[in-house]
Amino acid sequence: MNGEELTEQETALYDRQIRVWGVDAQRRLSKSHVFVSGLKGTTVEFCKNIVLAGVGSLTLNDDNPVTENALAANFLIPFDDNIGGGGSLADLCCDSLKDFNPMVHVSVEKGDLSSFDVNFFEKFDVVVISCCSLAAKKSVNEKCRKLSKRVAFYTVDCRDSCGEIFVDLQNYAYAKKKADETVECQLLFPSFEEAIAIPWRSLPKRVSKLYFAMRVVERFEEVERRKPGETSIEDLPNVLKLRNELCLAHSLNESQIPDSLLERLVASTKEFPPVSAVLGGILGQEVIKAISGKGDPLKNFFFFDSVDGKGLIEDISTS
Amino acid sequence: MASTQQQQQLSAIKGAKVLMVGAGGIGCELLKTLALSGFQDIHIIDMDTIEVSNLNRQFLFRQSHVGQSKAKVARDAVLRFRPQISITPYHANVKDSSFNVDFFKQFNVVLNGLDNLDARRHVNRLCLAADVPLVESGTTGFLGQVTVHIKGKTECYECQPKPAPKTYPVCTITSTPSKFVHCIVWAKDLLFAKLFGDKNQDNDLNVRSNDTATSSDHSEDIFELRKDEDFQQYANRIYDHVFGHNIQTALSNEETWKNRNKPRPIYVKDVLPDEPVQQNGSADQMLVKDSLSSLSAMSYLGLKNPQDIWSLKENSRVFFAALKLFFTKRQKEIGNLTFDKDDHLAVEFVTAAANIRAASFNIPLHSLFEAKGIAGNIVHAVATTNAIIAGLIVIEAIKVLQNEAKNCRMTYCLQHPSRKMLLMPVEPFEPNKSCYVCSETPLLLEVNTHRAKLRDLVEKIVISKLGMSLPLITHGSSLLYEVGDDLEEDMVANYAANLEKVLSELPYAITGGTNISVEDLQQELVCNINIKHREEFDEEKEPDGMVLHGWTPAPASENNKDATDNNGASTSSTSKSAPAVMEDDDELSIMEVGVETVSAVGKKRKLSDVPHPETLVEDKRAKKIPEQPENNGDVVVMLDDGNDAA
Ligand SMILES: [Zn+2]
């Protein structure tokens, strides 16, 4: 990364992708700094993708110890004595990721996500958080928004065979190719808090059922003070009750959030690895787009459910 | 409920024996996702070894693995995080005879992550013969697709004709070309890009030796015109470097040439020994007309017909003239040029360079017209698309294993959302009743039985069109031709003699009305062909001197209005062949102009840019959802025929 030019080593390694997105984009990638908090299957997929793509640096945050459960969807951690060993998830993932691409600086940031202040996030161009509470999502998003530079903010979560990605690029201008000419485009993204505050009845018809279902589960975990993903089938009656309350408040028909969908989300909080691969791929793609300024970014929610196989973009914003 | 479902799913996964074909871009992702998903018994076939340019997305491989078997290294890498599962690697070609129908029968599902049409067709046939479901996949750039093929339930991979997309491993392009198209890719994507394109863009031009340390040859300056350097000296240096020195270097890798013909280095002094070095400043004379668009090395050299095949000498002259025109008349563009088939000078340069390279490798030379046609479209892959596609393959494979064929979908990964979807599932199609691979419908061959030899039939139809590798041709109960290792010597001689006979003079004459049977024993595929005698063929439009009906699209009506036709009965819709376009693993992929469509349609049909899969999907759905706008013109376009290079 010497100044403006890509090194010979970089050009050799990134040859194929440079042919897809160009030298400029590659140069921007190699100068970008990405922060990821919460290392489970989906974020690990994402980390692999952007390390291969050649971002400048990747900072990992997850102090959790390596448990058997954590290994289930994680291909970064060699299966040996790591279970119950001293290293945190972030430590072990870091070791593996370094190995993927020696040109990317991978490091670990210890500490609780909520303890990082606004200045902390200034070091980054991209912040991705996962497996965290509703409060943490709102608060980290707001911290990123307080900075004078734009920090692209993403959340990603996978429960059972369903997944959700949220994107906040704030005020985002990019070049869009239309036929032969390039047009300047501008998009205004709402924050996570703003987006989910939009009354459900004012959303466009046929918004993915997953959007509502994820809000119900998220809310349930908040009121019950659960850790993210800490639900089981026993919670279903209470979750359904909450669903009914929320639907009533939002004047939404309860059938928009089917019991069976909620059941899947609360009963099995394990990530289904193929779905993690899909979400990690889409998120990787979006982050590459945002850094390079090339291509239409996803605005502002993405949903995938392997049962119907659809990968849907939903624009949840006031406008 | 969810948990019993999950139990069932898990037991289906754990009890499954799966075969993966391909351990490249998609393959690495797929093997990882299979292992994480709980698969216990995975077999993987890949004949390739690891290259430096794989490392940015084939994440199971490291620098230290370069040169080793992909299948084996992938296995070892995955066992590090899932040591308890069984992965059986085969460093071999899937077309090897050991991978026969019995081999395929042991698997519950076959998953393809392949990079070429030939192998895909082969695997399709073996899966049909063994009655094993196949999940097929492909990516190009940000586009990808996953399809499911279950015998008798969904269409097979070959139910819709394919416009022969091909992919080439990088080493084929950089070191071991065996076809003219390899030379075109080299000339266009490597040499042209190096000389006139963004200087940062590639470094594959210099032949790699096995020692990776020397892979980035310190030859960067060779391609720079030095200050005050005589142009002709520069041009000669380029010529000698790429056609002489690089070949010489490649020859030093003796291992490479054990089973291949050695190329011959070509130097300026050998080709143009007594050519007076072109005069400095003579470029002005080259400028016959004023406008830049008319800049042409051909007109400068007095070469008129783009259909002519130039000699090595002529190609070398075109090479120098085109190079000089670029450096003198289009200097400002140097550094930002990308190959454009409508840029005449660029086509001239690429044609000449490809031909000189072809001469080195003893590959037949081609005309500018042909070269321009071959210089189609190149697409490259990215890791994220491969990861997404691999995830989708596993999702479909699990449905197949749970016998949920009716829930299977083909899924398109799109670059731009279509009806809010980035990942778009579509119901699979039923088998095409007239598919020559999975149905028994006979084909019809029009041929002059008094002129065409059996050899023509074998080469132009059986091998190149039907894609058979070990064909056996019978007429009634009589064997006319057969290929195999275990044949008696006299039979071999007999077949060799038959090859040179015209069809009507064979021991069991093939004439109009004859029905012959062509069979591939390994693929267990039988095709019946009805012969129709026809006296005359148009040399330009039907260069094979024979026309095969029933396997390739009949001429699409020009307005494409039949694109919503019934998928089963019609072979004419251009749209349905289109999904085949987005496929290949990850290396260079070239959309070739299908020779067969040239002869069948009488006009050259060619894939335009990478088709937007949205378009494809809309087409696919058009017959099911009538209100969908039809949009098929983008997928296959008619080129103005013949004379556009003039
Ligand atoms: Zn078929």
B497–A contact, CB cutoff 8 A: no
Catalogue the active-site residues of B. 171
Q: Pick the closest to residue A129 from A119, A114, A145, A110 (CA basis).
A: A114
pLDDT: which is higher, A229 or A82: A229
Q: Does the annotation place B23 within a ligand binding site?
A: yes
Residue B577 pLDDT exceeds 60 = no
Position A294 scores a pLDDT of 81
Gap between the Cα atoms of B334 and B566, Å rounded: 50
CA dihedral B486, B487, B493, B495 (to 10 degrees): -120
Nearest Cα of chain A lies from the Cα of B550 at a distance, in angstroms, of: 34
Gap between the Cα atoms of A173 and B482, Å rounded: 64
Q: What are phi and psi of B438, to 5 degrees?
A: -105, 0
- Residue ranges making up the domain that contains A98: 8-190+271-309
Nearest Cα of chain A lies from the Cα of B393 at a distance, in angstroms, of: 8
Q: Report the amino acid identity of residue A180.
A: D
Position B312 scores a pLDDT of 95
Length of chain A: 319
What mean pLDDT do residues A64-89 have? Answer: 77
Number of CB atoms found within 10 A of residue A102's CB: 12
Position A136 scores a pLDDT of 95
B37–A contact, CB cutoff 8 A: yes
Position B425 scores a pLDDT of 96
Residues A144 and A254 in one domain: no
User: Do the beta carbons of residue A195 and residue A316 sit within 8 Å?
Assistant: yes
Residues A134 and A12 in one domain: yes
The A residues from 87 to 146 touching B (CB cutoff 8 Å) are 99-101
Position B436 scores a pLDDT of 85
- CB-based contact A312 B420, cutoff 8 Å: yes
Lowest mean pLDDT among A200-214, B328-342, B616-630: B616-630
What mean pLDDT do residues B183-195 have? Answer: 90
The A residues from 186 to 225 touching B (CB cutoff 8 Å) are none
pTM, two decimals, is 0.71
Position B442 scores a pLDDT of 81
A142-197 pLDDT per residue, tens: 999 999 999 999 999 999 899 999 999 999 988 777 766 778 889 999 999 999 99
Please, what is the average pLDDT of chain A? 90
- Inter-chain Cβ pairs, chain A and chain B, closer than 8 A: 182
Nearest Cα of chain A lies from the Cα of B389 at a distance, in angstroms, of: 7
Gap between the Cα atoms of A274 and B246, Å rounded: 44
B111–A contact, CB cutoff 8 A: no
Distance from the CA of B570 to the center of ligand 1, in angstroms? 13
Q: Does the annotation place B116 within a ligand binding site?
A: yes
B216–A contact, CB cutoff 8 A: yes
Which of A71, A281, A308 comes nearest B385 by C-beta?
A: A281
Lowest mean pLDDT among A100-114, B124-138, B398-412, B603-617: B603-617
Q: Scanning the structure block, which residue is given the tokens 């060699």?
A: A78
What mean pLDDT do residues A259-267 have? Answer: 94
Which of B392, B394, B422 comes nearest A313 by C-beta?
A: B422
Question: Is residue A123 one of the residues assigned to a domain?
Answer: yes
Position B528 scores a pLDDT of 87
Percent of chain A with pLDDT over 90: 70
What mean pLDDT do residues B206-229 have? Answer: 58
For chain A, the domain total comes to 2
Question: Is residue A3 one of the residues assigned to a domain?
Answer: no
Give the residue from A9, A11, A13, A16 with the most B CB atoms within 10 Å of its CB, the best one to mutate.
Answer: A16
A66–B contact, CB cutoff 8 A: no
What mean pLDDT do residues A275-289 have? Answer: 96
Question: Is residue A316 one of the residues assigned to a domain?
Answer: no
- CB-based contact A15 B53, cutoff 8 Å: yes
Q: In whole angstroms, how far apart are CA A266 and each of A208, A210, A246?
A: 18, 13, 17
Question: Is residue A318 one of the residues assigned to a domain?
Answer: no
Residues A65 and A146 in one domain: yes
Which of A64-73, B112-121, B283-292, B372-381 is the most confident on average?
B112-121
User: Do the beta carbons of residue B188 and residue B339 sit within 8 Å?
Assistant: yes
Return the SS3 of B164.
Answer: coil
A275–B contact, CB cutoff 8 A: yes
Residues A83 and A206 in one domain: no
Which of A69-73, B373-377, B611-615 is the most confident on average?
A69-73
A17–B contact, CB cutoff 8 A: yes
Which of A1-5, A271-275, B622-626 is the most confident on average?
A271-275
Residue B378 pLDDT exceeds 70 = no
Q: How confident is the model at residue B616 (pLDDT cuts 50, 70, 90)?
A: very low
Q: Which DSSP helix (H) or strand (E) runs through A194? A: helix A192-197
Lowest mean pLDDT among A214-223, A302-311, B460-469, B548-557: B548-557
What mean pLDDT do residues B609-628 have? Answer: 32
Residues A37 and A135 in one domain: yes
Residue A17 pLDDT exceeds 90 = no
Percent of chain A with pLDDT over 70: 91
Q: Does the annotation place B57 within a ligand binding site?
A: yes
Position B204 scores a pLDDT of 65
Question: Is residue A203 one of the residues assigned to a domain?
Answer: yes
- CB-based contact B425 A310, cutoff 8 Å: yes
| B contacts of A13 (beta carbons < 8 Å) | 52-53, 55-56
Position B452 scores a pLDDT of 93
Residues A236 and A136 in one domain: no
Angle in degrees, 0-180, between the axes of helices B312-329 and B344-360, rounded to the nearest 10:
140
Distance from the CA of B379 to the center of ligand 1, in angstroms? 27
Question: Is residue A209 one of the residues assigned to a domain?
Answer: yes
Question: Is residue A34 one of the residues assigned to a domain?
Answer: yes
Residues forming a β-bridge with B166: B590
Position B282 scores a pLDDT of 46
Nearest Cα of chain B lies from the Cα of A208 at a distance, in angstroms, of: 10
Which of A268, A278, A285 comes nearest B6 by C-beta?
A: A268
Which of B59, B413, B421 comes nearest A52 by C-beta?
A: B59
pLDDT: which is higher, B308 or B498: B498
Q: Which DSSP helix (H) or strand (E) runs through B580? A: none
Q: State the SS3 of B303-362.
A: CCCCCCCCCHHHHHHHHHHHHHHHHHHCHHHCCCCCCCCCCHHHHHHHHHHHHHHHHHCC
- CB-based contact A311 B80, cutoff 8 Å: no
If you ran DSSP here, which 8-state letter would residue B629 be given? P
Residues A216 and A198 in one domain: yes
| A contacts of B422 (beta carbons < 8 Å) | 282, 298, 302, 311-313
Position B201 scores a pLDDT of 58
Q: Does the annotation place B208 within a ligand binding site?
A: no
Question: Is residue A1 one of the residues assigned to a domain?
Answer: no
- CB-based contact B391 A302, cutoff 8 Å: no
Position B318 scores a pLDDT of 95
Residues A229 and A298 in one domain: no
Residues A176 and A211 in one domain: no
Position A61 scores a pLDDT of 97
Position B585 scores a pLDDT of 37
Residues A25 and A157 in one domain: yes
Residues A214 and A156 in one domain: no
Which of B62, B82, B380 comes nearest A20 by C-beta?
A: B380
Position B162 scores a pLDDT of 64
Q: Report the amino acid identity of residue B368.
A: L
What mean pLDDT do residues B169-174 have? Answer: 79
- CB-based contact B421 A310, cutoff 8 Å: yes
Give the residue from A42, A236, A266, A310 with the most B CB atoms within 10 Å of its CB, the best one to mutate.
Answer: A310
B219–A contact, CB cutoff 8 A: no
Lowest mean pLDDT among B168-177, B463-472, B591-600: B591-600
CATH number of the domain enclosing A156:
3.40.50.720
Q: Does the annotation place B138 within a ligand binding site?
A: no
Nearest Cα of chain A lies from the Cα of B464 at a distance, in angstroms, of: 30
**What is the complex's ipTM, to 2 decimals?**
0.95
Residue B548 pLDDT exceeds 90 = no
Position A12 scores a pLDDT of 60
Q: Catalogue all structural domains in chain B, each as residue range(s) with its CATH number.
A: 2-164+380-426 (3.40.50.720), 178-362 (1.10.10.520), 443-549 (3.10.290.20)
- CB-based contact B420 A275, cutoff 8 Å: no
Distance from the CA of B464 to the center of ligand 1, in angstroms? 18
Position B635 scores a pLDDT of 22
CB under 8 A, 24+ apart: contacts of B591-595 = B591/B163, B591/B165, B591/B376, B591/B377, B591/B379, B592/B163, B592/B164, B592/B165, B592/B166, B592/B181, B592/B374, B592/B376, B593/B373, B593/B374, B593/B376, B594/B163, B594/B164, B594/B552, B595/B464, B595/B543, B595/B544
CA dihedral A218, A219, A220, A221 (to 10 degrees): 50
Residue B167 pLDDT exceeds 60 = no
Please, what is the average pLDDT of chain B? 77
| A contacts of B32 (beta carbons < 8 Å) | 75, 277
The B residues from 388 to 447 touching A (CB cutoff 8 Å) are 388, 390-392, 394-395, 398, 409, 411, 413, 415-417, 420-425
Residues A183 and A301 in one domain: yes
Position A229 scores a pLDDT of 85
Position B514 scores a pLDDT of 85
